[in-house]
Structure 1
Amino acid sequence: MVTHQIPFRMEIFSLVDVNLLLKIVLAIIMYSVGLSLRVQDFRYVVDNKQLLLLGLALKVILMPFLGFVLLSLTTLDSVYKFGIMILLFSAGGTTSNVITYWYKGTSALTVFLTTISSLLAVFLIPLLVNFMSIVYFGSGTDFSLPVFETVISVVLIIILPALLGLWVNEQFPVFAKRIEKIIKPLSVSLLAVVFLIKFLAPAAAGGTELSWPDLLLLTPVLVLINVLLMSAAYGICRWRRLSYQDSMTIGIEMGLQNAGLAILVGGVFIGNEELVKPSLIYAMFSFWTAMLFAYLIKNRYYEKSWT
């Protein structure tokens, strides 16, 4: 009986092209983000340039820098450090929109931070990943990305679906609102399925073969990074005299990354499943820690100028 379990398991997972499914799910998620946007909403960007720029600076510049500093203090293998940096470069976790809405943050801000940081990631990821591969492994490493091909691939998966969703919302707003209510939860559920397959499937079928030693080694470091990034962002925003809502919103953005994009980069474009492990583990808890963060901020300051 035991001798037949693994082949049967591989046969089941071989029926699914995990990497193709990941690309499709990411495209659906970005399409749903586009459905929530209107051209007239970009007036918010014009009216709040400093707020948006601060959020982007924290998310795109400060977050990877702090992550790199924290990782330099650990004894993790370089391949895990590199995988975590890929995750931190993959800005634009869409679940931040949900948490911000639930806890009455600034929804317009989180949508634009998610969208714009995702667009920036398209062009920055190949350059930053190649740079960090040299930092961790030296020149001539196999951990590198072809810049042009990667940009084209991510444009097709990230930018075009978002633009299509924006166009549909502009042309057919009633229809867009209806299907957005279906697509958003569906896409998140599908992404969870992809993550589950990555957890359970053997390496030959596209899995990462996460082990308990992996979880015990990486989870404390990833939780520490997650909590410190959210706390640092919130503290800087309050120091800059931003409102509690805006500060909380940017803090949530700092705590949630696009794990699907990180998995695509590490597991598909680079082709090393070891790089995927930090993103899978991060995806397991980051939604809950970000929600706890929002709960604590909102309840502590609800009676203090939460308008």
Structure 2
Amino acid sequence: MITDILLLVALAVIMFAMGLSLRPADFALVFTRPKAMALGLLAQMVLLPLVAWIVVLVVPMPTDFAIGLLILAACPGGITSNLLTHLAGGATALAVSLTAITSVFGALSVPFVVNLALVHVGGQGGAVDLPVARMTLGVFVVATLPLILAMSLNHRWPEESARVEKLARHVATILFAFIVAGAFASQWRTMMTHAGDVLPPALAINVGAMALAWLVGRLGRLERREKLAVVLETGLQNGALGIFIAATLLGSPAMMVPSIVYALVMNVTALAVIVWARVFCGKEKGGVSPAFSRK
């Protein structure tokens, strides 16, 4: 079992590494590309949780797994979302901005969705029973604060931060893999026993949310690279944060199982999107302007 301290430190390092790649200018896309940003935030912060709610209400499953899926759906974009968006030929700057905004505001949005899940799915009535303050503080200290600190360092010392960021991102990716692998090992028996309860709904949420994200981008007349960024940002969640909330803040190993499964599923579907984008859409015209393509 991953200890609470190691999980806390690993997640903080992951978020710090993500922050080293972000700049205040990344938030400017809210004003320079408002439609793309608005649709991206709609897909990730509204449609994904909505799809998750529909799935857990329709598909019979143990309560802990249902809450775990809602926890994962409430989390911001993952550490690899920007890299995979780049590999797919998507608008990397848009992906970075979406990750930044959802991660910063995650201290408020994540506890809100999770506590709704505890009340309406877990049946925990009464504000006293819900760890709202503890969850908000925990997410802020472990996830949002390291992100803001790293962004501040990047703004103050950009050249030094750029050199450290490459190593930090590799370390963060390795730590994320260890978190998922450690959680997977600790919950192996539970996952094998309840694979049929978790895998289908996790896949349905992932594919359904990405399909809706693509539809929203299409209806909103976003450029192809923007649509790819929105789709991948919507599908790739911060599984490490989901595991931390379930195992450490809520003290429920069973609730972290969906985050483990989703972390495996989302990388498979993301790879499919990358292959599809490269093979079938590689020659499609309509890219974004150089200013919108972060290098």
TM-score of the aligned structures, taking structure 2 as reference length: 0.90
Residues 144, 130 of structure 1: alpha-carbon distance in 2 compared, 3 angstrom cutoff: farther
Alignment of 1:250 onto 2:208:
no
Q: Which residue of 1 aligns with 2:160?
A: 175
Shift of the 40–284 alpha-carbon distance from structure 1 to 2, 3 Å rule, reads: closer
Residue pairs, 1:57-206, within 5 angstroms: 57-140=42-125, 145-201=130-186
Match of 2:261 in 1: 281
Pair 1:29 & 2:14 matched: yes
Superposition deviation, residue 241 in structure 1: 0.7
Match of 1:262 in 2: 242
Corresponding letter in the other structure for 2:242: A
Amino acid at match of 2:275: Y
Q: Which residue of 2 aligns with 1:8?
A: none
Deviations along 1:23-45, whole A, 9 cap, x unmatched? Answer: 11211121122211222343322
Q: How big is the alpha-carbon RMSD for the aligned residues of Structure 1 and Structure 2? A: 2.1
Shift of 1:272: 0.9
Q: Which residue of 2 aligns with 1:291?
A: 271
Instruction: From 195, 198, 203, give the equivalent of 1:215.
Output: 195
Task: Trace 1:38-57 onto structure 2 (pairs within 5 A).
Answer: 38-57=23-42
Identity %: 28
Offset at 1:211?
A: 3.7
Query: Could you give the per-residue CA deviations for residues 53-94 of structure 1, whole angstroms, max 9, x where no partner exists?
Result: 111111111111112112222111222111111110112212
In the aligned structure 2, how far is the partner of 1:259 from the partner of 1:24? 15
Please say if residues 23 and 155 of structure 2, whose CA atoms lie closer than 8 Å, have aligned partners that are also in contact. yes
Letter in 2 for 1:229: A
Q: Which amino acid aligns with 2:146?
A: P
Instruction: After TM superposition, give the deviation of residue 249 of structure 1 in Å.
Output: 0.7
Residue 75 of structure 1 aligns with an amino acid whose one-letter code is P
Whole-angstrom CA distance in 2 between matches of 1:29 and 1:86 = 19
CA–CA distance in 2 between the matches of 1:74 and 1:246?
Answer: 32
**TM-score, normalised to structure 1's length?**
0.87
Q: Give 3-state SS (helix, strand or coil) of 1:276's partner.
A: helix
- Contact 2:77/2:237 (<8 A) preserved: yes
Count of residues in Structure 1 that have an aligned counterpart in Structure 2: 287
**Is the contact between residue 16 and residue 146 of structure 2 (CA under 8 Å) also seen in structure 1?**
yes
- Work out the CA distance in 2 between the residues paired with 1:170 and 1:276: 35
CA distance, structure 2, for counterparts of residue 128 and residue 103 of structure 1: 30
After TM superposition, give the deviation of residue 144 of structure 1 in Å: 5.5
Q: Distance in 2 between matches of 1:79 and 1:255?
A: 22
- Contiguous gaps of at least 5 residues in structure 1: 1-12, 202-206
Relative to structure 1, is the Cα distance of residues 239 and 143 closer, same or farther in structure 2, using a 3 angstrom cutoff?
Answer: farther
Given the alignment of the two structures, is residue 229 of structure 1 paired with residue 179 of structure 2, yes or no?
no
Structure 2: state its 5+ residue gaps. Answer: 288-295
Tell me which amino acid in the other structure corresponds to 1:160: L
* Structure with max Cα Rg: 1
CA positional deviation for 1:20: 1.4
Contact 1:18 1:194 in 2 (8 A): no
